[in-house]
Chains A and B, each alone.
Chain A
Amino acid sequence: MPSQTFDNRRLVGIHAERVTNVSNNEFPGHYPGEDHSWNLEKFKKNLTVTVQRLSQHSIDFDIVGVDASIANAFRRIMMAEVPTVAIEQVFVWNNNSVIVDEILAHRLGLVPLNVDPSLMKMREPDTTPTDQNTLVFNVDITCERNPKAPKGTLNPHELYINSEFLSSHITWTPAGDQEETFAAKRPAPINPNIVLAKLRPGQQINMELHAVKGVGKDHAKFSPVATASYRLLPHIKITKPIPPSKAEKFQKCFSPGVIKIDPRTKEVSVDEKNVRNDSVSREVLRHPEFADSVELSRVRDFFLFNVESEGPYAPERILPEAIKVMREKLAVIRQAALALREKTTTVDTDVVMADS
């Protein structure tokens, strides 16, 4: 990988007690004689999206060349506006466990379900549930003594049957044509081992659960991600050579692998490939001997995204979903803007207040 250099304008300064140049100034009219008007070609050229790591539950990807507002918009939409399905209503027929109804309902709501939200419609408030917008689950679990329990054991799993109410005890009851719609994957909790309540002989839980589609800004249970966040690419510039005797100390000021020391010359250099792993702990700035030999910064338009999925989406699907939501929002705005332009060309009237 070639040594990366960044234009100083792209860097956010990291100092011991403050952060400088946090905002992008490259907008028209700020730098005399430079043209910063938005240009699709330029934007296309600058924009890169690279997936760095993908696992079952999380994805790391880079977005380079966009403004913080765009990257942040994606982050916000991923957290709050990508829809998922979660349990919203709980009808308790019987529950004599130690966990009371409201709390059990709250816990149930937070259980992530594997339902593909695109197969469902949003339920409008105060409308009757239909097979289009509601999934019905049932729980019927009774704890009993295990007649075959080994003598002398104190382990509740051996002593009792159903000593724990787990997420796997939630069973789906199809309604209408749901059997076909959800044939590919039967709706169920993603993780079957979530303990929702502990039970002892004589206690039982019998409930009907209704799951609906919703978004994270409504309630955190609808958020498809555990975290969706980004950080900026760290950038380390060694301005003065580090004396070989201090090399190891210097290396220790950064995350492992960020600083290379030449085994022969003890020359210190930044590992360009691993610099992204630096945690920017600013430890190096604490030592006076290194104070003027290093400059820390981060690249303002180099976003290292990390998204952990806990919902029905595969991690790589969340960003496209977010973009989809964003495009829908843009479509609305565009329509509104067009409508506004049409209106302004015709009559220029006073704004009528809603309550007057």
Chain B
Amino acid sequence: MVQQDEESEWDQLNRTNWKGLGLTDPIKNIEDKWLLLPAFLKVKGLVKQHIDSFNYFVDTDIKNIVKANNKVTSDVDPRFWLKYTDINVGFPDRNEENAIDKRVTPNECRLRDITYSAPIVVTIQYTRGKNIVQRNVHIGRLPIMLRSNKCVLTGRSEEQLARMIECPLDPGGYFVVKGTEKVILVQEQLSKNRIIVEIDNVKGIVQASCTSSTHGGLKSKTYVATKKGKIYLRHNSIHEDVPIVIALKALGIQSDKEILLLTAGNTDAYKNIFAANLEDAAKLGVFTRQQALEYIGTRVKINRRVMGPRRPAWEEALEALATIVLAHVPVKGLDFRAKAIFVATMTRRVLMAMEDEKMVDDRDYVGNKRLELAGQLLALLFEDLFKTYNSNLKIAIDKVLKKPSRTTEFDAFNTMRMQGDHLTTGFVRAISTGNWSLKRFKMERAGVTHVLSRLSFIAALGMMTRISSQFEKTRKVSGPRALQPSQWGVLCPSDTPEGEACGLVKNLALMTHITTDVDEEPIIRLAFMLGVEDICLTTGTEIYGPHTFVVNVNGTIIGVTRQPTRFVAQFRKLRRARRCSEFISIYINNHQRAVHIACDGGRICRPAIIVENGRPRVRSEHIRLLKQGKAMFEDFLQKGLVEYLDVNEENDTYIALYESDINPNTTHLEIEPFTLLGAVAGLIPYPHHNQSPRNTYQCAMGKQAIGAIAYNQFNRIDTLLYLSVYPQQPMVKTKTIELVGYDKLPAGQNATVAVMSYSGYDIEDALILNKASLDRGYGRCQVLRKNATLVRKYPNGTFDRLADAPLDETGQIAKKYDIIQADGLAGVGERVDPGDVYVNKQSPSNATDHAFTGQAASVPYKNTPLTYKSPVAGNIDKVLITDTDNDQTLIKVLIRQTRRPELGDKFSSRHGQKGVCGLIVNQEDMPFNDQGINPDTIMNPHGFPSRMTVGKMIELLAGKAGVLTGKLQYGTAFGGSKVEDMSRLLIENGFSYAGKDMLTSGITGEPLEAYVYFGPIYYQKLKHMVMDKMHARARGPRATLTRQPTEGRSREGGLRLGEMERDCLIGYGATQLLLERLMISSDKFEVNACSECGLMGYNGWCTYCKSSKKMAQLTIPYAAKLLFQELMAMNVVPRLILDDA
């Protein structure tokens, strides 16, 4: 009943005449149309792209892969076969044989260093003797993406999540493998199966290339390129470039006339350019298809493993052309027509580009890119592993079947169970190392996965939206790094790292969706139904006729149409009526005179409001329903009010930014302009007032801010965790902040800032902090560090043990053991001083002795304790004793330090303005205003002119107005609270409109001669703290090889006097200092050298001269002595020529 009412209300709204309002009535603004955004995020979540992709893999793709490889037969017994009929991935469970409660939560996996994975079960049919048997077999385990539809967290309420010790704000989309959280980053690639035309101006080459990729994996790239003015077909499997005419003849187009029509059409310019190619073929004596095939056949690379009878060349050519060259174009029963037309189209595109340079494609255009997600990568991995699994199985089965007589009937089920966990280890290894090396698909990628950064909530979120490019970082090209206009709305313009990866690592904007594969068969049928003529029935004249447009589906040419606009309009109408998937895109390319339909996965798209007849289809009434919870985003899609546009289709639209911009040509309306930024850039208040690099800097720094990480932060044991003691939500919020939940997991505090100069300790962006603020808890943070150890059992039967604190001679417990309790572990809450032992572990001294067979208990033990190394004391926060997958006892100790800000700690506002603390000032010395308010922080005004971060100034103004009125203000991009209103609020509360207060110096007590910009700004404390960086050494450890001081803080290393410093000393002539720095204080070494032979001896004896007469002692760097010895080892004799200096 309710359903029906709702339905009718919807229908009413969608009528053209509604409540007496006609089409010509003035357009009202749709209030709160941004509410569509939370509605969108509610269905899709922030990391929907990862989860959708994984779901597609688990539900659909995995079945397709198994279907493609579903049979295992035996070479030995032809009667044997085994067939996979189905495959299913279950829910994650505990991988322990006799566990009573099989349920497992991701948090348990994180804590116990195990993998959050689910069993993969296949249904098999096979022959056992004379019977056919059907069974279910577990073949391995698949790591499960959190919050995917196989995850136990999906669809749980906040309370249920709390029971599972999981944070409701955590986006999911990552894996837990061996206890670490791993993200498979989105990979950006050039789109497959599309023709890309490029010009190399240096070499004078025009080439059309097409990377074919079909399901089944084989990828190959085909080129149609010019060489010395003539056009050739080039492919890896053919040794030599094939003249294009020969290639076309081999593909079954024998007549020169037809070739000319299919490539150059009736355009004279193209005909002239192409003519030479026809002559070329004639010169080579290739006229018929047979001749062409022979020509190609002799040049095909043959790599057949099975040695069969040698086939004639033409057959080789036929096979190569049918299956390897442009593999994605279907060849049905040796009908090469479609492929021939595809090659002809490539040729034509080359001709067009030769004639007009503008006809090339842009590689960096986002519409020419596809994003590869976790699902696709896992699918490839699974296919590879599954094929290996099957071949292993086949070998194993053959081995058994080869045996002439068996006692029992052969059951393949048992062989399958014996197969081990090849799939499980394959998945775990790939995800935990990030190496995707699949020889079968010629794929060799490293660094595919990354550890999810849990530095802050935003760091984790930012990582989930990250896109890495396949492009090499070292090459110095600007094209791929530049901001593309087509990135609008789908990729964040601000969020990219600085330095080498700049512009190559990108981030998704807030409202983007990445498509998954949709079956193209029904779409082709739909296209034919809408009047597209089959391409195989057309000739060149028709294809390039004045009114015909070629119709492509996923890059393959399927037909032509004479009414492209009508066709596209009808197709869209069907899509809006949801007769096909909403993610299918269709657009007209007028340059290529083609209609492109795309339904492949990895396209980036975003929703937009449909505008019809100058009116947006979404109206206030719809939003009202949305507000009341009677409508969802899906309803908007269903009713054709909103649709997804991919980057290519965007080019075919006219999108109004605001409703006031709508004119009769407008086709769409943006939902909200601020969605063009990503989740990380969305934290910045008033970003549209900032200089753009500042927003980029903030995007990098927001990820280093210390704050709250997740609701389960106190139940996590991460390697390194930074937490803020008193985090606050910002006074000036943005809509994005509320959408991503940054207001619930903030990372910063609202500091009262005075923009003024103070004491000179604030130059170069340094900040002055108020000591009383620090006393009261401003900037206080906790650092939690994990220390883990395994109490192992060794293969020889010995084992590690934990011991209580040993007593010294006086019967006292030594100071360094004073926190060890009877179980050998430090007590929770105890203070750990530097050098203290907190896990008193002992290991057997013969653990590696495999021959050992004695009593394990009688073995001598040596101490292998965990000692606390940090220079500052900490506290034991948590101790976890558990066991891992392979029954080793795991002990994790979490040690906490609570830190208050000190000189040199790094802070930053949300506008890329970082600074270190330069001075901590007593409260009474700080300036104060009429209300007696002291600033928490003083910032030097020189930070503003060159940085041009006007947004920060507005943030202060809005924050101050907010504080005075007791409300939070908004600084949403391209909107937010207006400066005018903020000034008005300030005046109403008795403050200056400009936000500047009259301050009194705390030192002299007199008023300051200038007014000071004074108010709250959200400041983040960054993870870089002096305590972790300070380092000095007088004497210390040396490297064993060179006897020089060690390097690096962690090894208590020396500070290097480098080449440049050395140059200075040489230039200055300070030779004694040089000698002292480079030898005496470093690796001085006394050697005995023979002045006769110039070789080094020892103890005053020259082993070469067999004498001690001419020995001299001299001091050289040990590294020099080492060099001489190494040279001698290489049969080079370095001789020391000694002279009196």
Chain A positions within 8 Å of B, measured between CB atoms, are 12, 14, 17-20, 22-23, 68-69, 71-73, 75-76, 79-80, 92, 95, 98, 100-103, 106, 110, 216-217, 219-221, 223, 227-232, 255, 279-283, 286, 298, 306
Is B499 close to A, CB under 8 A?
no
Is B776 close to A, CB under 8 A?
yes
Q: How far is the CA of A19 from the CA of B1010 in the complex (A)?
A: 6
Min Cβ gap A24→B in Å is: 8
Residue contact B922 to A80, C-beta cutoff 8 Å = yes
Q: From residue 755 to 793 of chain B, which have CB atoms closer than 8 A to chain A?
A: 771-772, 775-777, 780, 782
Residue contact B1007 to A79, C-beta cutoff 8 Å = no
Known: A19-B1010, A220-B776, A279-B991. 16 other contacts (CB 8 A): A19-B1008, A20-B1009, A72-B1002, A72-B1004, A98-B714, A106-B777, A216-B924, A217-B924, A223-B772, A227-B932, A230-B1000, A231-B1000, A255-B990, A279-B990, A283-B987, A298-B1007
Residue contact A229 to B931, C-beta cutoff 8 Å = yes
Residue contact B1011 to A19, C-beta cutoff 8 Å = yes
What residues on A are CB-neighbors of B1002 within 8 Å?
72, 76
24 A-B pairs (CB sep. < 8 Å): A17-B1011, A18-B1010, A19-B1008, A22-B1006, A22-B1008, A72-B1003, A72-B1005, A95-B829, A98-B714, A100-B782, A100-B896, A110-B777, A216-B772, A216-B924, A223-B772, A227-B933, A229-B928, A229-B931, A229-B1000, A230-B1000, A232-B1007, A281-B992, A283-B993, A298-B1007
What residues on A are CB-neighbors of B931 within 8 Å?
227, 229
What residues on B are CB-neighbors of A95 within 8 Å?
829
Residue contact B1008 to A281, C-beta cutoff 8 Å = no
User: B897 — nearest CB in chain A belongs to which residue?
Assistant: A102
Residue contact A68 to B998, C-beta cutoff 8 Å = no
Q: How far is the CA of A227 from the CA of B930 in the complex (A)?
A: 11
Min Cβ gap B1004→A in Å is: 7
Q: How far is the CA of A95 from the CA of B829 in the complex (A)?
A: 8
Is B149 close to A, CB under 8 A?
no
What residues on A are CB-neighbors of B1010 within 8 Å?
17-19
Chain B positions within 8 Å of A, measured between CB atoms, are 714, 725, 771-772, 775-777, 780, 782, 829, 875, 877, 896, 898, 922-924, 928, 930-933, 986-987, 990-993, 998, 1000, 1002-1011
Q: How far is the CA of A100 from the CA of B924 in the complex (A)?
A: 31
What residues on A are CB-neighbors of B771 within 8 Å?
220
Residue contact B924 to A286, C-beta cutoff 8 Å = no
Residue contact B1009 to A19, C-beta cutoff 8 Å = yes
- Contact for B1006 among A68, A102, A221, CB less than 8 A: A68
Q: How far is the CA of A92 from the CA of B876 in the complex (A)?
A: 14
- Contact for A100 among B877, B993, B998, CB less than 8 A: B877
What residues on B are CB-neighbors of A230 within 8 Å?
1000
Most buried by A among B714, B931, B932: B932
Min Cβ gap A221→B in Å is: 7
What residues on B are CB-neighbors of A79 within 8 Å?
923-924
Given contacts A19-B1010, A76-B1002, contact A281 B923 (CB under 8 A): no
Min Cβ gap B480→A in Å is: 48
Min Cβ gap A191→B in Å is: 16
Q: How far is the CA of A219 from the CA of B1002 in the complex (A)?
A: 18
- Contact for B829 among A68, A101, A219, CB less than 8 A: A101
Residue contact B992 to A282, C-beta cutoff 8 Å = yes
Min Cβ gap A179→B in Å is: 32
Residue contact A220 to B993, C-beta cutoff 8 Å = no
- Contact for B993 among A76, A101, A106, A286, CB less than 8 A: A286
Q: How far is the CA of A71 from the CA of B924 in the complex (A)?
A: 13
Q: How far is the CA of A21 from the CA of B714 in the complex (A)?
A: 56
Q: How far is the CA of A114 from the CA of B875 in the complex (A)?
A: 32
What residues on A are CB-neighbors of B930 within 8 Å?
229, 231, 279-280
Q: How far is the CA of A282 from the CA of B725 in the complex (A)?
A: 39
Q: How far is the CA of A68 from the CA of B1005 in the complex (A)?
A: 5
User: A23 — nearest CB in chain B belongs to which residue?
Assistant: B1006
Residue contact B1005 to A102, C-beta cutoff 8 Å = no
- Contact for A110 among B776, B992, B1007, CB less than 8 A: B776
What residues on B are CB-neighbors of A298 within 8 Å?
1007
Residue contact A306 to B1007, C-beta cutoff 8 Å = no
What residues on B are CB-neighbors of A69 within 8 Å?
1004-1005
Q: Which 9 pairs from chain A and chain B are nearest by CB?
A: A72-B1005, A229-B932, A279-B990, A220-B775, A227-B932, A68-B1005, A220-B772, A76-B924, A231-B930
User: A306 — nearest CB in chain B belongs to which residue?
Assistant: B932
Min Cβ gap B988→A in Å is: 10
Most buried by A among B922, B933, B993, B1008: B922
What residues on A are CB-neighbors of B924 within 8 Å?
75-76, 79-80, 216-217
Min Cβ gap B833→A in Å is: 15
What residues on B are CB-neighbors of A219 within 8 Å?
775
Given contacts A103-B898, A279-B990, A281-B987, contact A217 B932 (CB under 8 A): no
Most buried by A among B714, B725, B780, B930: B930
What residues on B are CB-neighbors of A12 within 8 Å?
1007
What residues on A are CB-neighbors of B1005 within 8 Å?
68-69, 71-73, 75
Min Cβ gap B839→A in Å is: 21
Q: How far is the CA of A342 from the CA of B782 in the complex (A)?
A: 55
Q: How far is the CA of A95 from the CA of B875 in the complex (A)?
A: 13
Q: How far is the CA of A95 from the CA of B998 in the complex (A)?
A: 47
What residues on A are CB-neighbors of B875 within 8 Å?
100-102
Residue contact B1007 to A19, C-beta cutoff 8 Å = yes
Q: How far is the CA of A22 from the CA of B1004 in the complex (A)?
A: 11
User: A105 — nearest CB in chain B belongs to which residue?
Assistant: B898
Q: How far is the CA of A298 from the CA of B930 in the complex (A)?
A: 12
What residues on A are CB-neighbors of B877 within 8 Å?
100
Min Cβ gap B928→A in Å is: 5
What residues on A are CB-neighbors of B987 within 8 Å?
281, 283
What residues on B are CB-neighbors of A23 within 8 Å?
1006
Min Cβ gap B426→A in Å is: 42
User: B771 — nearest CB in chain A belongs to which residue?
Assistant: A220
- Contact for B998 among A14, A20, A76, A220, CB less than 8 A: A14
- Contact for B898 among A76, A92, A102, A227, CB less than 8 A: A102
Min Cβ gap A193→B in Å is: 19
